[in-house]
Structure 1
Amino acid sequence: MLNSLEVVTTVVVGVMVGVEFSVAFVMNPILNALPEDSRQLGHAHGGRMLGAVMPVWYIGSLVLVAVWAIAGRHHPGTGLVVTAGALLLLSVVMSVLLLVPINNRNKTWTPENRPEDWKEQLNRWERFHYVRIAVILAAFALLAAALA
C-alpha cells in the first residue's frame, strides 16, 4: 500500500510541476506574443481556469506528501519526504501571499477595465511563478529520490 502511495504522490506532484513549467515556458510566451487585447484576455482566461484547478492540486499534493511522511515514518527516505512537504507548504504560502492576489485581479480584467500597470502586474506574477516552479521542482526531485 505504501508503495502505491509513494508512486501516486510522485506522479501527482510531477505532473503539477509539468503543468506549471508549461505555463511559464510555453503558454506565457505564446500569450505574450499576441496583440495587447488578446494577450490580456488570454491571461485572464488562463487565470480563471487554472485558478480554479491549481489550489486543489497544490493542497492535494501537500496532503499526499503528509500521508506518505506519516505512513512511511520508519522507512528510509522519510527526511526527504518531509523536506519535500516543507517545500510544497512554502509553495502554497507563496501562492496565497504573492501569486493569488495578482491572479484574482487579473482574471477579472478586460481591455475596457484593466489598470494602466496590468503588464507590470503580469510580469511580477511571472517572476514569482518562476520561483514557485523552482520550489516545487525541488520538492519533486526529493520525492523521486525518496522513491528510489
Structure 2
Amino acid sequence: MRTRLLQALSLFSTGLLAGAFGYGAANLVPTFNAVPIDMRLDFHAALMKMNGITMQGTMAVSALSSLALAVSARGRARVLAGAAGLLTVSSFLITRFGNVPINGRIKQWAATAPPPDHAEVLRRWELFNDARTATAAIAFGLLILIALTGQRGLCRQEPKETT
C-alpha cells in the first residue's frame, strides 16, 4: 500500500512539475519574446517571485517521492523510479545554478536597464529552461511507464495464504 501511495504522489507531483515547465516553455517564453524588453523584464521578475516557493516545493516533493518509490519498489520499477528521481534532482540543479542566477540579473535589469548583452543572457536562460523542462518531462514519462506496466514488479510480493 505504501508503494502505491508513493507511486501516486511521485506521478502527481512530477506531472505538475513537467506541466508547469512545459507550459512555460510553450507559452510564457514565446510571449516573453513577443513583448517589449521592459515589459518582459517586469513580468519575468514578478513571475519568479511567485514561482520561487511553489516550483521548489514541487521539485522537492517530486524528487523525494520518486526516490522513495525507488527504495520501496523492486526490479525495473526501482530503476525507472530512481532515474525519475535523479532527473527531477537534475531539474532542480539546472534551475538553482542556471536559471536562478539569471533571474537575479533580470530582477536588477527590471529596476534599471538591461545591459548590451541582455539578448545572449536571456537566450542562456531559455536553454536552461529547455533543459529543465526536458528532464522533468522525461521523469514524468518514466513514472507513467511504471504505472502503465501495472503492479508487476512494483511491490514486493507477499506470500499467498493457503487454506
Task: Measure how far apart 1:111 and its partner are.
Answer: 5.4
Which structure would you say has the larger Rg? Answer: 2
In the other structure, the counterpart of 1:26 is 27
Q: CA RMSD in A?
A: 1.8
Change (3 A) 1:59 1:83: same
Task: Please list every run of 5 or more consecutive structure 2 residues that lacks an aligned counterpart in the other structure.
Answer: 149-163
In the other structure, the counterpart of 1:115 is 115
Post-superposition CA distance 1:62-112 (Å, at most 9, x none): 11112211222x365111111111211222222222222112222343253
Which amino acid letter does the alignment assign opposite residue 101 of structure 1? P
SS in 2 for 1:114: coil
Contact 2:94 2:131 in 1 (8 A): no
2:45 is aligned with 1:48: no
Give the whole-Å Cα distance in 2 for the aligned partners of 1:63 and 1:109: 35
In the other structure, the counterpart of 1:7 is 8
Contact 1:78 1:146 in 2 (8 A): no
In the other structure, the counterpart of 1:80 is 80
Give the whole-Å Cα distance in 2 for the aligned partners of 1:119 and 1:25: 19
SS in 2 for 1:93: helix
SS in 2 for 1:80: helix
In the other structure, the counterpart of 2:145 is 145
Change (3 A) 1:49 1:107: farther
Give the whole-Å Cα distance in 1 for the aligned partners of 2:123 and 2:90: 21
Percent identical residues: 30
Moved over 6 A (4+): none
Which amino acid letter does the alignment assign opposite residue 3 of structure 1? R
In the other structure, the counterpart of 1:100 is 100
Q: How many residues align?
A: 147
TM-score, normalized by length of structure 2?
A: 0.80
- Per mean C-alpha deviation after superposition, the further-off stretch among 5-14 and 52-61 is 52-61
